[in-house]
Structure 1
Amino acid sequence: MSARLPVFPLGTVLFPGLVLPLHIFEERYRALVRHLVELPEGTPREFGVVAIQAGWEVAPTGPDGRPVPGAGDVTLHEVGCTAEVRQVTELPDGGFDLVTVGRRRFRVGDVDAESAPYLTAEVQWLPEPTDPDESTALLATRVISVFRQYLTLVRAEDQELSEQLPEDPTVLSHLVAATAALTVDDRQELLAIDDTAARLRAELRLLNREAALLRQVRAVPVPLRELGSPSTPN
């Protein structure tokens, strides 16, 4: 089953069930918000969030403040997630602050940059398993254990998150993918995986990789701030 959606290119990856606050200031996306607000009551107010593969999140402007023709072109990743608008705050300058929540994954088809001020795309909805089997549940238990160890290495204040991890394997897989310190490419690969068990196995590999790197950095016998400082000739 397919549909046509407004598309919002971003430098991040959205996962189902995760909250994404947005500050809308570009006119083309203000037009998108106005379109969503004007939809009939009861109609889902959602648009597609797709991570940018190449290009700019904000269209570059020239000296006159207008967008540079062609400079706002972006190349999108193939898989995105819809963002359902839960709260809209209109700002005095005409912009908006939104609170959105990821809802469902899709594969991007034909992209249209001409029919509306913002991008739209034909999308194909992707399956999301709802009844995990026993092996998937066991994988989820392993991911919870490894993720808790990872959080202790990243920062102690994540203790609250560690104690509130969901038991549902699919929800857990999305939360781990969104909150671990991964690259956009890593997150994009996880979003594109249809099977929860396969996503959890991929996360185990990534978490073990990241934990090993963190332990290695902690073993370096110099202050971390010096590692990020440019060398001097003296």
Structure 2
Amino acid sequence: MAQQLNLLDPRFARQTLRGSARHALWAMAGALLLGWAASQGLQWATAQAQAAAVEGDTAMAPLRAQLMAQSASTPGSAAAELLQLKALEAGQRRIRAALEAGVAGHREGHADYLVALARQASDRLWITGFALSEDGNAIDLEGRMTDASALTPYLRRLDAEPRFKGRPFAQLSLRAVDPPGGALPYTEFALRSVTGATAPATNAGAQPAQLATTVAANGKGATP
């Protein structure tokens, strides 16, 4: 018996996967642009501060000469002003030293880290969150993956990047997500580096590849 097939049936419609890797790549590109803009702004502010310090030092040169000339005739007041001038100079030297050493702010910002993350992007794994401490020592990574086995090679590739090399992740957590509506299931992961004495004794110093091996062994489970 002949049967008619309804091609307009919703069951035959193309299914759209929410939270796909393509959307994540677009989000990474936007984050990269924002990070680059923030880095440029920070570099400009640092250059302005350095120029202001140089201008202040130049403007103080005539005052320094005047105070030195007056010290012979009025030793009491001139000596006090000279001490104030020396204290001001010492403060400016500390500011210049902080700017040159990068203590006043992490000059490079997040741009280099975001470039490294984008360079190692995968269609099975993408980053949804990134945080960097002010001193650049602590890193937090959050992401999703459609295959738990993708985390092992991803962390190995990431460890080869100059910005991530030698930065062990001390904390790892996993959470399996099964979204409603027939969307593709995925696993959320979070990696956190803890420096110095703050690192947990059980996980301190663990290399990224070792943590990734734990992920592959546990599948979609969760590790503290």
Give the TM-score category using the shorter length: under 0.3
Q: TM-score, normalised by structure 1?
A: 0.21
Q: Hey, which of these two has a bigger chunk of helix by percent?
A: 2
Higher RCO structure (Cα 8 Å, ≥6 apart): 1
Q: Hey, which of these two has a bigger chunk of strand by percent?
A: 1
Q: TM-score, normalised by structure 2?
A: 0.22
